[in-house]
Amino acid sequence: MSATRSTYSKGIMTFVVGALLAALLAMHELVPTSYGLALAVESMLPWTWVIIVLIFIVALFRFSAFSIVGVLLPAIVWLTMFGGYLRPAQTPAEADITVATQNVGARMPQPTATAKNLIAADPDIVAMQEIESLSGEIISEQLSGHYPHATVADTIGVWSKWPMSEPREIDLGIQWPRAFVTTISTDHGDVSFYSVHLPSVRPGEESLRNSALSRLSESIAADDADRVIVAGDFNASSTDRYFEQLDEQLVGTREAVGGGFGFTWPSLFPVVRLDHIMVRGLEPVGDEVLDRGTSDHRAVLGHLNIE
């Protein structure tokens, strides 16, 4: 009797842990937002593969039907959510439009090297955040010496090889400009370009960013342009429940082309992607995250073709 009970219960704990993890992945939007719990959990969802690996190792020692199911349940849910990011991706030899974005930080060392690193990548359009500091001014001067067109509003700026219209500020409900839209007259037609830097978040203090995301989403929804590019520091991962407002309207370059998660922050050992290039009416054909520079954010390059 005891042997039968032991055989039956073998691997049951592995099954329970795996089932709970699968439920968390599938229903993470039920995690309460209190004290920043949802923010932390949703930002780390891609990293739950580590837990799945640990469950698999335990299952090898507690091998049974229960332990097998305990591994398969979260693995299948995880792959359903994130498997698209893992498909191989290649950087195209050419693209109609290449966009770069980077938060360069308020007190960044070696700003000239950072600017030259971006210039060497030869993007057609560059969006920068946190350029109000001395290091930001140096970067702005370097970019302005390379690009014939530029527009700057407080802490954010855009540089382009093509002409731009007068920028229009997007009201994010905060006291200083953190987003604007301009029409860029590219060789392939006009593009509505949004440069954004959404408010920072800390556990339990996400309301300002959440409100800004909603306002930005409403502005983009009201934009009747055929082609839209939104680039910058969103201070939100693509798994954040509030990010879905944008995800329903736009396509992220990394999500579209794969090649890994493309984490950008912190630059020394990135664990989350806060910097995004998102589009409507264009086809993402490449997404690169540049090597660590002197900022705490890594730069993102998005390669786009006209549909």
- Average pLDDT of adjacent 10-residue blocks, the chain of 307 residues: 50 93 96 89 96 94 89 97 92 90 81 88 95 85 95 94 97 90 96 96 83 96 97 96 93 96 94 97 96 86 93
Provide the pLDDT for residue 3: 47
Handedness of CA 118, 197, 180, 213 (dihedral sign): positive
CA–CA separation, 159 vs 152, rounded Å?
Answer: 9
Residue 184 burial (10 A CB sphere; 0-12, 13-18, 19+): buried
Beta strands in the chain (DSSP E): 97-103, 125-129, 149-153, 156-160, 168-169, 179-186, 189-197, 228-233, 251-252, 275-280, 282-289, 300-306
* Per-residue confidence (pLDDT) for residue 31, from 0 to 100: 94
Q: What is the pLDDT of residue 9?
A: 60
Percent helix, strand, coil in the chain (nearest 5)? 40, 25, 35
Tally of CA atoms within 13 A in the half-sphere of 98 that contains its CB: 19
pLDDT of 17 reads: 95
**Residue 195, amino acid:** S
pLDDT score of 175: 82
pLDDT score for 307: 78
Local structure of 39: helix, strand or coil: helix
**pLDDT on residue 8:** 47
Q: What is the SS3 assignment for 113? A: helix
* Residue among 285, 208, 268 nearest 242 (CA): 208
Question: What letters, b where the CB count within 10 A reaches 16 and e where it falls short, cover 206-215?
Answer: bebbbbbbeb
Task: Name every residue whose Cβ is closer than 8 Å to that of residue 75 and which is 6 or more positions away in sequence.
Answer: 52
